[in-house]
Amino acid sequence: MENKIQRAREKLIVALDVASTEEAVALTRQLAPYAGVFKVGMQLFYSAGPEVVRHIKEQGVKVFLDLKLHDIPNTVAQAAKALAGLGADIINVHAAGGTAMLQAAAQAVRERAATLGLPAPLVIAVTVLTSIDQRTFNQEMGLTGEIEDRVKAWALLTRDAGLDGVVASPRETSVIRQVCGEEFAIITPGIRPAWSVSGDQKRIMTPAQAISAGSTYLVVGRPITGTDNPAVAAQKILQEMAEVL
């Protein structure tokens, strides 16, 4: 079981949804025994600045820089190039940006990492946000068809553009795994243990369900960081993940 717990730790990404470097580092120190990757999103990055990545990396963990780049190919390439220089281990863009944008981002990241002598970060594309339900997808966003079909199409686009994987809800994980293969990374937010509340997430699964469906990494925020004892919550999630590994 100890080996399975370690494997689970490598798959668990804790979302640092805080506004300061001090808060982020304190949480990282507390939770590093239970999670191998920590997510720096817009709130933390825009509040604390790029240096927060270095401070978190100094705790001996990996960083998922979740800024969801989406613009014309050259703009995204230049932004991705800058982010690659920070030492992040995972960087993401929006799949909706299209093939040229995806390829430009991946090329810029890999070239920058090689120039700096750093391991190339995973370049991941966001598909449909886990806060989007079918009604919102069709009626508010004006997109036809089923969410799963759009996620599948964007996952294939991402793979064919040469990226390393996608961000998608756990409900689409199994179909992505079927069409994109075992080596394709699937990062799944929308993870809610049975003992937590769903909040603004719509397309959710428990940690065990997501791992069983084929997720590579699970992103968990409030069910861990929003509790009175984040370390205990993280341990419970690790245990649940390990039982199905």
The residues annotated as belonging to the active site are 66, 68, 71
- Per-residue pLDDT tens digits for 209-231: 999 999 999 999 999 999 999 99
Give the pLDDT score at 176: 97
Range in 87-101, 112-126, 147-161, 196-210 with the lowest mean pLDDT: 196-210
Annotated binding site for substrate: 17, 39, 66-75, 130, 192, 201, 221-222
Q: Could you tell me the pLDDT band of residue 203, with boundaries at 50, 70 and 90?
A: low
Q: Is the pLDDT of residue 185 over 70?
A: yes
- Residue 24: φ, ψ to 5°: -65, -45
Q: Span 92-110, mean pLDDT?
A: 98
The whole domain housing 50 covers 2-242
What are the strands, taking DSSP E only, across the chain?
Answer: 12-15, 37-40, 62-69, 90-94, 122-126, 165-167, 185-188, 217-220
Mean pLDDT score of the chain: 94
Q: Is the pLDDT of residue 66 over 60?
A: yes
CB 9 within 8 A of CB 218: no
Q: Span 109-136, mean pLDDT?
A: 95
Annotated binding site: 17, 39, 66-75, 130, 192, 201, 221-222
Which amino acid is it at 167?
A: V
Number of domains making up the chain = 1
* CATH number for position 10: 3.20.20.70
pTM: 0.93
Q: C-alpha distances in angstroms, 229 versus 20, 27, 78, 139, 236?
A: 20, 11, 40, 40, 11
Give the SS3 label for residue 33. coil
Give the pLDDT score at 202: 56
